[in-house]
Homo-oligomer: A and B are copies of this chain.
Amino acid sequence: MPPQSERRRITSKDVALAAGVSRTTVSFVLNERADVAIPDSTRQRVWAAASKLGYAPSPEARALRLGRSDVVLCLLPDWPITGPVGVLLEALSAELALAGLTMLSHQRQAADELGQVLAALTPTAIVAMCDLAEVEVELAEQRGIQVVSFMGRVPKQVDVACFTQADVGRLQVRAVVADRGHSFIGYVSPYDRKLDWFSAPRLAGARQEARQLGARLIHYRLPARDNGSTGKWLETARAKGMTAVCAYNDDVAFSLLMAAFERGLSVPDDLSLIGVDDSAFTTLTRPTLSSIGFRLGPEAKRLTAVILGDGQDVQESSPSDIFDLKVRDSLAMRRPAG
């Protein structure tokens, strides 16, 4: 007994047979080539056959022949994507879909893992939101894959993002020092070292801006398990004259808020506080948390333009278009006499 017509993939050959034409004609019709003369009657016959059979061309065969696929690979760092970056990814995916491209993400785990991924698929472009080694970039370029860096450190590549993490730190410091007169401030980093990738440049930016504005900045890192040491630090620093703190993000800001509360320090009377991300809960805390939000929609558009190669038409945007300073209760002017 022969295998009872085991479900085979439907190819353009089947369509050709059903429509009574050659495979070539099917290809011409389905790709809507305007430069070949094929009467409407034939065109309709082919379309009808294709849709009746549920024909869809094999992506692999296409990619093989055309030398490129319709996939854009987004390489993500190995910490959870949340907040504004998550929104950006959604926007980017939608934007690319409009151009007929499919975005797929891969969360990178090891350092030199790109080879494994490229052994499974050849994307048309790679958006690197994490660091890449030089070997990896060469690997991609060797295969003719465009590498675009967005918020990642990639050798031989200019980052496409119109802002840096350092800008985030600078903006925080500006809001606190330039706009509200504080002159002795703190910067607090999260416990998780994985986040240093973001956190280190933010701190550096904050430091730079503080120096430029003539303010003093001290750095503190949250401990793994807080046994009151953060509160103690806040108290000591406050006693020495620190009147404002910039937090790596809203989560860290929240920890600080709680630590201050336990020590009887008042926010913002004793300490001003600002986070990053404009997380949903910032309006729920008492006092409400000031933060820096992001409008990343335009960035998704720019990124797509770069990938599509309309390199020239990309309109420049500036960090000020992106950042969205949310001033809430946790920010106050420095009081005239300490």
Task: Point out residues on A near B: beta carbons under 8 Å.
Answer: 7, 9-10, 54, 56-61, 63-64, 69-71, 73, 78, 80-83, 86, 89-90, 93-94, 97, 101-107, 109, 113, 115-122, 142-144, 226, 251, 254-255, 258, 261-262, 280-281, 284-286
User: Hey, which chain B residues are within 8 Å of A102, CB to CB?
Assistant: 106, 116-117, 119-121
- CB-nearest residue of chain B to A78: B90
> Nearest-CB distance from A191 to chain B (Å)?
9
Distance (whole angstroms) from the CB of A149 to the closest CB of chain B? 20
Are A109 and B86 in contact, with the CB atoms below 8 A? no
Residue contact A106 to B104, C-beta cutoff 8 Å:
yes
Which B residues lie within 8 Å of A107 (CB)? 89-90, 93, 105
Contact A121 B7 (CB under 8 A): no
Give the shortest distance, in Å, between A177 (CB) and chain B (any CB): 27
Distance in Å: Cβ of A242 to nearest Cβ of chain B = 21
Given contacts A64-B61, A284-B258, contact A109 B90 (CB under 8 A): yes
Copies of this chain, whole number: 2
Instruction: Give bound CA distance, A280 to B82, whole Å.
Output: 14
In the complex, A60 Cα to B61 Cα: how many Å?
A: 7
Tell me the minimal C-beta distance from A311 to chain B in angstroms.
20
Q: Quick one: which of B54, B69, B280 contacts A120, CB cutoff 8 A?
A: B69
Name 8 extra pairs, CB < 8 A, besides A71-B120, A102-B106.
A9-B144, A54-B142, A60-B60, A94-B109, A102-B120, A121-B121, A254-B281, A255-B284
Q: List 8 A-B contacts (CB under 8 A).
A: A7-B142, A54-B142, A60-B64, A80-B82, A80-B83, A102-B116, A104-B104, A104-B117
Give the distance in Å from the alpha carbon of A107 to the alpha carbon of B63 in the complex. Answer: 23
Q: Determine if B286 and A258 form an interchain contact, defined as CB atoms under 8 angstroms apart.
A: yes
A291 to chain B, nearest CB (A): 15
- Bound-complex Cα distance A122 to B251 (A): 40
Least CB separation from A261: chain B residue? B286
| A86 nearest in chain B by CB position | B80
Chain B residues with CB under 8 A of A122: 58-60
Expressed in whole angstroms, the minimum distance between the Cβ of A20 and any Cβ of chain B is 24
Closest partner residue, chain B, to A262 (CB atom): B286
Least CB distance from A218 to B in Å reads 22
The distance in angstroms between the C-alpha atoms of A207 and B113, with both chains bound, is: 46
* Residue with the highest number of chain B CB atoms closer than 10 Å, among A54, A60, A109, A286: A60
